Amino acid sequence: MTTDEENRPARRRITLTGISSRAWEHPADRGALTALRELRGFDDVVKAFFGMWNDRGFRLQYLAGSIRVDHRQYPRVFQRFAEAAATLDVAELPELYVTQSPMINGQAIGMDKPFIVITTAAVEKLDDEELRALLGHEIGHVRSGHAVYKTIMMILTRWAANVSWLPIGAIALRAIIAAMYEWWRKAELSADRAGLLAGQDPAASTRLLMKLAGGGDLSQIDTAAFLEQAAEYEGGGDLRDSIHKLGMTAWSSHPVPVARAAELRKWIDSGEYGRILGGDYPRRDSDGNASVTEDVKAAADSYRQSFNDSQDPLVGLLRKLGDGAADLAGSAARGARDWAAKGRRPDDEPPAPPAS
């Protein structure tokens, strides 16, 4: 007996030959990565420093308690994995494991030889297009080098728990972890774009995020309504909601699903996704020419644009305060010019009024 999914005609995907990970990396993510890559030997120092937590320990955990995917075990998953990798022009597949969990999830782990883990819920609840997008997302993490720094973050988080009794050390470590969480949230947006490029099905990428938010059954879920939630989350409520959102995200490695869906939609609407499918994208053979200055500037521009475009009440208040400060500065400057035009310095005393 065949299913509707098996009878569905295969979607033709464009192979993105030689594509660089820079094509899908969010500017804030890419700026941080380029700066780290510019530090010669940084990865080697990190790997040596964290050598006691090398790939062997992490890999053995999944080798012992999960299913390693290949053409014999979870062949459907393996086929979608191979398809996603081929579309992103990745010749050597990372190891892939399926681990028991009722939550749809995936992650890329490791330093020397990163591998990918997805959950049984992802296998059971995602259709082929959604699964391809998820696997492309994780391949994007590996290709961008995210797995190394995510592994470091996992280790640092454990350390933070162990040194919590040392106030100074814990505060310094928590500051580092908070900064890494902010970078990782941008790295997730990058990987969402990689997943979209791997599957080349915007509807499937949106459905994946909907299932991450609400489980596997979308029969009573509406895409337009889900995106309306994203708009309400971004701009609805008042300052109290803004404070709650800060608390929700500060120590989270992932943006919330509705925000991820909105960001992916913005990327599509910007035309960048279409340009890449049309062949206009950076190639791996030009990665050595990447400019740290340009990438850091692009990251700053991205944060500035997000600040200017945000509908969040707190951000809106900060913009108004900034505009007010600018108005005061402008008024002061105009006053100074007026005094100068009359031949006085701004701090001169005004003339005494005439006697009555």
Q: Do 43 and 154 lie in a common domain? A: yes
Angle in degrees, 0-180, between the axes of helices 146-162 and 42-49, rounded to the nearest 10: 40
Two tokens, residue 60: 């053995």
- The 10s digit of each residue's pLDDT in 255-264 is 788 889 989 9
Strand partners, 286: none
Q: Do 127 and 39 lie in a common domain? A: yes
Q: Do 329 and 205 lie in a common domain? A: no
Q: Do 135 and 248 lie in a common domain? A: yes
Task: Please report, rounded to a whole number, the percentage of residues in the chain having pLDDT higher than 90.
Answer: 38
Q: Is residue 273 part of a domain?
A: yes
Q: What is the pLDDT of residue 34?
A: 66
Measured CA to CA, the distance from residue 209 to residue 258 in angstroms comes to 8
CB 104 within 8 A of CB 126: yes
Q: Do 324 and 277 lie in a common domain? A: no
Q: Is residue 302 part of a domain?
A: yes
- The 10s digit of each residue's pLDDT in 122-148 is 999 999 999 999 999 999 999 998 887
Q: Is residue 347 part of a domain?
A: no
Q: Do 307 and 337 lie in a common domain? A: no
Q: Is residue 101 part of a domain?
A: yes
Q: Is residue 156 part of a domain?
A: yes
pLDDT band at 214 (very low <50, low <70, confident <90, very high): confident
Active site residue 138: yes
pTM of the model: 0.74
Contacts of 146 (CB under 8 A, 6+ apart): 108, 140, 184, 187, 190, 191
Supply angle C-alpha 284, 278, 298, rounded to 5: 55
Q: How many domains does the chain have?
A: 2
Q: Is residue 5 part of a domain?
A: no
- The 10s digit of each residue's pLDDT in 58-94 is 888 999 999 999 999 999 999 999 999 999 999 999 9
Q: Is residue 29 part of a domain?
A: yes
Residue of 138, 182, 272, 294 with catalytic role: 138
Q: Do 186 and 334 lie in a common domain? A: no
Q: Do 332 and 247 lie in a common domain? A: no
Summarize the confidence of residues 199-207 as an average pLDDT. Answer: 96
User: Of the given ranges (172-181, 227-236, 271-280, 290-299), which has the lowest mean pLDDT?
Assistant: 290-299
The boundaries of the domain holding residue 84 are 11-311
Q: Do 180 and 210 lie in a common domain? A: yes
Q: Do 217 and 330 lie in a common domain? A: no
* Per-chain mean pLDDT for the chain: 76
Q: What is the pLDDT of residue 204?
A: 96
Q: Do 25 and 68 lie in a common domain? A: yes
Q: Do 302 and 325 lie in a common domain? A: no
- The 10s digit of each residue's pLDDT in 2-11 is 444 444 545 6
Q: What is the pLDDT of residue 273?
A: 97
Give the best-scoring range by mean pLDDT among 36-45, 172-181, 215-224, 329-338: 215-224
Q: Is residue 1 part of a domain?
A: no
